[in-house]
A and B are shown apart, each in its own frame.
Chain A
Amino acid sequence: MGWFTKALSTSIGKKLLVGLTGMFLSIFLVVHLYINLHLFKNDGGETFRAMAEFMGTTWAVKVLEFGLLLGFILHIVYSILVTIQNKAAKPAGYGASPNPGTSKASSRNMIWLGLLLGVFLVIHLQGIYFKAKFGHEAHDIYELTLSVMSDPAWAVVYLISMVALAIHLKHGFQSAFQTFGLNVPKYKGMIEAVAILFWVGVPAAFASIPVYFAFLGGK
């Protein structure tokens, strides 16, 4: 076990952990999106309720939920550790601003985008998940989610967060492959194509839900 913890404490090890947990969280995003998209189904929420019921009661999902919590914690803690180290490695900046175009803005602002997403995570857990799970009054998960999604103020918050998510994924998704050592000419094109699909597609699909219910009069 010593070799394992030692390996994860090095610069590359920490990055690996951020990348691996990021990938795990990305898979979760897709599952979450798959369920959310059922809000569009015209069956009075039957499928959505059944899915939420499944997620809430199946023990295997509960175990995964712990994994998810752990994934979030590790992703956040290790990102902060890496950022602190990076800041310490560059004690002073330059007087002249560097040539534009030598690095991408998304790559330089991952920690701030992450922070924004963290805030959104808390707000939306509190607004939906905790209410449905631990709230005093019984909530119908479908009605609750729909009412939240139809609130224009909430939709704006949601949209801003999805933009942040897109930029975070834009850099993160591809970077993870670089950290795993897979970003080689042979796979580069493939990774780039999947990355675009992912960072544009997933946040856009999530965003389409509040847009439809809050602004386009969807019911």
Chain B
Amino acid sequence: MMNITLKVWRQKNCNSKGAFESYPVEGVSPDMSFLEMLDMLNERLIKKGIEPIAFDHDCREGICGTCSMVINGRPHGPIKGVTTCQLHMRSFKDGDNIVIEPYRAKAFPIIKDLVVDRSSFERIMVAGGYVSVRTGNAQDANAIPIGKHEADEAFNAAACIGCGACVASCKNSSAMLFVGAKVSQYALLPQGKPERKDRVLNMVAAMDAEGFGNCSNTGACEATCPKGLNLTHIARLNREYISAVLS
């Protein structure tokens, strides 16, 4: 069992100021997930009549992208390629001080404690993150041939779970890795090609309107993305944008 100290950002609502609070947590099992450790702390806080720490989570298996927090200065914590919900306390040591804060970005306003409003991502998706398909029977899987390389790259892009860690880690709060992933996953596949031009123009416009910053190629996003997306998706976004503007 481990004893740790958490320094957690507490903020009542979007209008209040917020500050760090320290909480010693005793009896932490190394087998606990990070969120289970927070659950345990919350139960103890409730018993003491203290408002539990609000944080986002849903699937707890690394696929929904809901768990959002910055652990020791890094979204999703210290382990590469791992979401917060899949992070385990064995990644920390007895006696550790762990700082937990919400994502920081103008386009992700804080709702409460560690919970931020990421509906700006939804609005970017609504602007073009889809393929308009007529309903009907599913086609035969081999009716549209797709090259292995394209299929793999589209799959890599589609691995993005929309968690927003790229925005959180970027010093400019740029959403270009996310948008690059979404634009890529469609642009690479035949089904997405007919709408690729409008898609990239509309999604970039939506991204700008939400107040995300500009990519300055620092690479913090690819270093923190739990799904291993890299800057080639941003290069593709730029390429798609340039060809959409010029064609």
A-side residues, CB < 8 A to B, are 3, 7, 10-16, 82, 85-86, 88-99, 101-104, 107-108, 110, 171, 174-175, 178-185
12 A–B pairs (Cβ distance < 8 Å), ordered by A: A85-B214, A86-B171, A86-B173, A86-B216, A89-B105, A94-B104, A95-B99, A99-B74, A99-B78, A108-B216, A178-B217, A182-B239
Residues of the B chain whose Cβ atoms lie less than 8 Å from the Cβ of A7: 245
- Taking a contact as CB atoms under 8 Å apart, the answer to whether B208 and A102 are in contact is no
Measured in the bound complex, the distance between the Cα atoms of B204 and A3 in whole Å is: 15
- Taking a contact as CB atoms under 8 Å apart, the answer to whether A107 and B208 are in contact is no
Smallest CB–CB gap between A58 and chain B, Å? 33
Residues of the A chain whose Cβ atoms lie less than 8 Å from the Cβ of B208: 10-11
Say which residue of B101, B104, B169, B241 sits within 8 Å of A12 (CB atoms).
Answer: B241
Say which residue of B73, B207, B217 sits within 8 Å of A171 (CB atoms).
Answer: B217
Say which residue of A10, A13, A101, A180 sits within 8 Å of B223 (CB atoms).
Answer: A101
Residues of the B chain whose Cβ atoms lie less than 8 Å from the Cβ of A174: 217
- Taking a contact as CB atoms under 8 Å apart, the answer to whether A89 and B217 are in contact is no
Interface Cβ pair total, 8 Å cutoff: 141
Measured in the bound complex, the distance between the Cα atoms of B73 and A99 in whole Å is: 6
What are the interface flags for B204-238 relative to A under an 8 Å C-beta threshold, 1 for contact and 0 otherwise? 11011001111111111001100000011011111
Smallest CB–CB gap between A98 and chain B, Å? 4
Smallest CB–CB gap between A146 and chain B, Å? 39
Smallest CB–CB gap between A171 and chain B, Å? 7
Smallest CB–CB gap between B222 and chain A, Å? 9
Residues of the B chain whose Cβ atoms lie less than 8 Å from the Cβ of A179: 217, 238
Residue in chain B with minimal CB distance to A172: B217
Measured in the bound complex, the distance between the Cα atoms of B241 and A182 in whole Å is: 13
B20, CB-defined interface residue at 8 Å: yes
- Taking a contact as CB atoms under 8 Å apart, the answer to whether B7 and A95 are in contact is yes
- Taking a contact as CB atoms under 8 Å apart, the answer to whether A103 and B235 are in contact is no
Interface size class of B (residues with CB under 8 A): 35 or more
Q: Which of B92-140 contact A (CB under 8 A)?
A: 99, 101, 104-107
Measured in the bound complex, the distance between the Cα atoms of B169 and A96 in whole Å is: 12
Residues of the A chain whose Cβ atoms lie less than 8 Å from the Cβ of B241: 10, 12, 181
Residues of the A chain whose Cβ atoms lie less than 8 Å from the Cβ of B46: none
Additional 6 contacts, C-beta under 8 A, given A13-B245, A94-B101, A182-B239: A82-B214, A82-B216, A104-B219, A107-B217, A107-B219, A184-B235
- Taking a contact as CB atoms under 8 Å apart, the answer to whether B172 and A107 are in contact is no
Residues of the B chain whose Cβ atoms lie less than 8 Å from the Cβ of A102: 74, 169, 219-220, 223-224
Q: Which of B33-89 contact A (CB under 8 A)?
A: 70, 72-74, 78
Residue in chain B with minimal CB distance to A93: B104
User: What 8 A-B pairs come out closest when comparing CB atoms?
Assistant: A181-B239, A89-B213, A86-B172, A103-B218, A96-B73, A96-B99, A107-B218, A181-B238
